Amino acid sequence: MRTSQYLLSTLKETPASAEVISHQLMLRAGLVRNVASGLYTWLPTGLKVLKKVENIVREEMQRAGSNEVLMPMVQPADLWEESGRLNDYGPELLRLNDRHNRDFVLGPTHEEVITKLVANELSSYKQLPLNVFQIQTKFRDEIRPRFGVMRGREFLMKDAYTFHLEHECLEKTYQKMFDAYCRIFDRLGLDYRPVIADTGSIGGDASHEFHVLADSGEDDIAFSDASDFAANVEKAEALAPSGEREEPSKDIELVELKLERLIKTTDTPLNASVKTLLVQGTATDDESEKFVALVLRGDHQLNEVKAENLPSVASPLTLATEEQISALVNCHSTSLGPKGLSVEVIVDRSAAHLSDFTCGANENNRSYTGVNWQRDCGDITVADIRNVVEGDPSPCGKGNIVIKRGIEVGHIFQLGQKYAEAMNCAVLNEGGKNQTLTMGCYGIGVSRIVAAAIEQNHDKYGIKWPKAIAPFQAAIVPMNMAKSARVKETAESLYEQLLQDGVEVLFDDRKERPGVMFADHELMGTPLLLIVGERNLDEKKVELKNRITGEKTLIAIEDVKALFS
């Protein structure tokens, strides 16, 4: 592509409307333009990045055995009536009528359409398990669209759905998809964490979110600043000030959350050195429960004690004393999971509902997945709970708590039978009997990832794309092409050569000063600049500038090709 033909709409000034850096840079580098609240046009540079993210996601979904389909964005409201979500989903669901006054919705997600499809297409257990995905536009009438494409109303999502005869099969596929998600975010070059999450309006059992770490994130994740404790805390507001003794609610009971299964997201084996585990809930108004405390136990004895308090607004992390915990443990025996960890949570039923929880253990940057939470209640009173804030000692005794922000870029759910049951999605099993299917669903915010990647990869000059999603691999920047026939000739032939080699290269053939060209490429985050100048041509060399390292070197023209092989 030549800049003379390219819609290169860079801006010098930072638009006042843009609050976060990714939104500012996406506007300045000419990636997107706002059309209306939460609605964006993707300009060529932005679209190139979006497509690259999309392709990585597509490749990994296909690798995981998922079939690509494409469902309509407009969905009959009948389907939502059938699933029971027409009323439940709330005002994010945009409703509309056609000319015959029939009711439709704009799809915020596609469980209904896919469940209906599978109910019609499948008849036998032999066709299972089935894994399908699409990459498609969603519409959610967000109450507060903001941060550009990070929280748009219209946005691009990859949503996958799996269908199974048995829960065990769902669990296996869920793990496979979890692994595929890790590969996707690894390939994208992002610093991310998986956390246990809420199942929200989608419903179901187990769920994980994938978060990209960034200051502008809307969720909180907690770590130790030493390498012996890492806990992911989702949807906690900034932790409340410490030192205050809280009077726990009278209406408290103990809920045991038994860790039945603990699967690490990394290959380091989980062992007895894991002493603590952090779990956190988020309060919502729908139901009358909240976390107030956690009891954590290690392999053989009570190693660490940790408690949390979640008032309806802020979510202070609290630490209970060992005596209390002993009391708790005494009055409520806890069975250890196969990996030797168990957690007890005290729930205040008079307060808000526990909607999200995340889990991590005392190793740096590790979080645990596949944790099964089992409830088993008994009455208990807690006397003394202390708040813990950032900078407080980590419950494991090593290091202090650090809170980081995360951007939710992916979310996977074990749905169970909620939709299949409501929509009569069943097949004949081996015994010839009709059996309702069990489902999983798996979302990735493709367009949000573009913004999240920028939040993590930028400097004062502009975007520093991870290699895998840079809009161009390189740009050719000729110096004073108008004055030097030799520069022009070399730049043109280098351009032709690279095009032939399949390199995504932008040829900056504008009649601009070098400073203007360099500024634009730094803003856009082009990883490599090939600077063609009269000075180096006697030696048949061009200057190579690396956007990430800032390094400048001379390279023989004949060696340029090898940079991209």
408 binds ligand ATP (CB under 6 A): yes
44-63 helix and 446-456 helix, angle to the nearest 10 degrees: 110
Interface stretch with ligand ATP, choices 303-311, 392-400, 443-451, 473-481 (CB under 6 A) = 443-451
Q: Which is nearer to ligand ATP, 58 or 411 (CB)?
A: 411
- Position 188, amino acid: L
Task: Give me the half-sphere count of Cα atoms (radius 13 Å) on the Cβ side of residue 77.
Answer: 15
* Residue 140 binds ligand ATP (CB under 6 A): yes
316 is a contact residue toward ligand ATP (CB under 6 A): no
Residue 204 contacts ligand ATP per CB under 6 A: no
Choosing from 52, 275, 332, 411, the residue that interacts with Mg ion (CB under 5 A) is: 411
Stretch that binds ligand ATP, among 112-120, 383-391, 407-415, 482-490 (CB under 6 A): 407-415
The answer to whether residue 164 forms part of the interface with ligand ATP (CB under 6 A) is no
Nearer to ligand ATP, 180 or 409 (CB): 409
Q: Which stretch binds ligand ATP (CB under 6 A): 81-89, 151-159, 258-266, 323-331?
A: 151-159
Distance CA 318, CA 245 (A): 10
CA distances from 205 to 83, 131, 209, 372, 415 (A): 17, 19, 13, 9, 6
Under rule CB under 6 A, residue 237 binds ligand ATP: no
430 class by beta-carbon count within 10 Å (0-12 exposed, 13-18 middle, 19+ buried): exposed
Question: Based on CB atoms, which residue is closest to ligand ATP, 411 or 545?
Answer: 411
- Name the minimum Å distance from CB 449 to ligand ATP: 7
Write down the least CB distance from residue 379 to ligand ATP, Å: 34
The secondary structure of 239-298 as a DSSP string is: PPPSSPEE---SSEEEEEE-----EESSSSPP-TT---EEE---EESSSS-EEEEEEEE-
Report the distance separating Cα 510 and Cα 538, nearest Å: 24
353 interacts with Mg ion by CB under 5 A:
no
d(CA 241, CA 212): 26
Q: Please choose, out of 246-254, 398-406, 409-417, 523-531, the segment that lies near Mg ion by the rule CB under 5 A.
A: 409-417
Output 155 or 373, the one with its CB closest to ligand ATP. 155
User: DSSP characters for 371-423?
Assistant: PPP---EEE-----EEEE-TTSBPTTSSSBEEEEEEEEEEEEEEEETHHHHHT
- 22 and 455 in contact (C-beta within 8 Å)? yes
Choices 15-23, 150-158, 274-282, 476-484 (CB under 6 A): range interacting with ligand ATP: 150-158
Determine, following the binding rule CB under 6 A, whether residue 443 of this chain makes contact with ligand ATP: yes
Is residue 116 a contact residue for ligand ATP (CB under 6 A)?
Answer: no
Residues 57, 184 contacting (CB under 8 angstroms): yes
User: 363-402 mask for ligand ATP (x: CB under 6 A)?
Assistant: ----------------------------------------
Distance CA(416)–CA(203), nearest Å, equals: 8
Cβ proximity to ligand ATP: between 125 and 174 the closer is 174
Distance CA(320)–CA(396), nearest Å, equals 13
Q: Name the site residues for Mg ion (rule: CB under 5 A).
A: 408, 411
| Positions in the binding site for ligand ATP (CB under 6 A) | 140, 142, 151-152, 155, 157, 408-411, 443, 445, 447-448
